[in-house]
Amino acid sequence: VQLVESGGGLVQPGGSLRLSCIASGIIFSTHTMNWYRQAPGKQRELVATITRYFTTDYLDSVQGRFDISRDNARNTVYLQMNNLNPDDTAIYYCHTLLTHSNYWGQGTQVTVSS
């Protein structure tokens, strides 16, 4: 299983970024896909989830600003992040489960700063 994220970077407060995660080694369409983040000195937290049925769930602090989506034809999950603020600064990780094992991408840095 391989998960490869991209799309991070430096953005000003109020700006937007779209993260992508390309998955291989799994039957992508059957998997729930997650985005987590970890800020310096803090625990990793679940930001957004999308199931195989396209149902979604979000961390309260990103609800209404972030949008998770998936393209099963491209084995890709996206995280559209709008109205970013400095508290969103973190490394963002793509995640899925396969037979009770956790799989993570390498992470992509998102920095929100003026």
Q: Please report, rounded to a whole number, the percentage of residues in the chain having pLDDT higher than 90.
A: 97
Nearest C-alpha neighbor of 50 from the set 30, 27, 73:
30
pLDDT at 100 over 90: no
Other CB atoms closer than 10 Å to residue 15's CB: what's the count? Answer: 15
C-alpha distances out from residue 16 to 64, 79, 107, Å: 13, 10, 18
Rounded distance between C-alpha atoms, residue 6 and residue 41, angstroms = 23
State the average pLDDT over residues 92-114.
Answer: 96
pLDDT in tens, 27-69: 999 999 999 999 999 999 999 999 999 999 999 999 999 999 9
**Cβ pair 77, 64 in contact under 8 A:** no
- The burial class, CB within 10 Å (0-12 / 13-18 / 19+), for 5 is buried
State the average pLDDT over residues 61-83.
Answer: 98
State the average pLDDT over residues 79-102.
Answer: 96
State the average pLDDT over residues 80-106.
Answer: 96
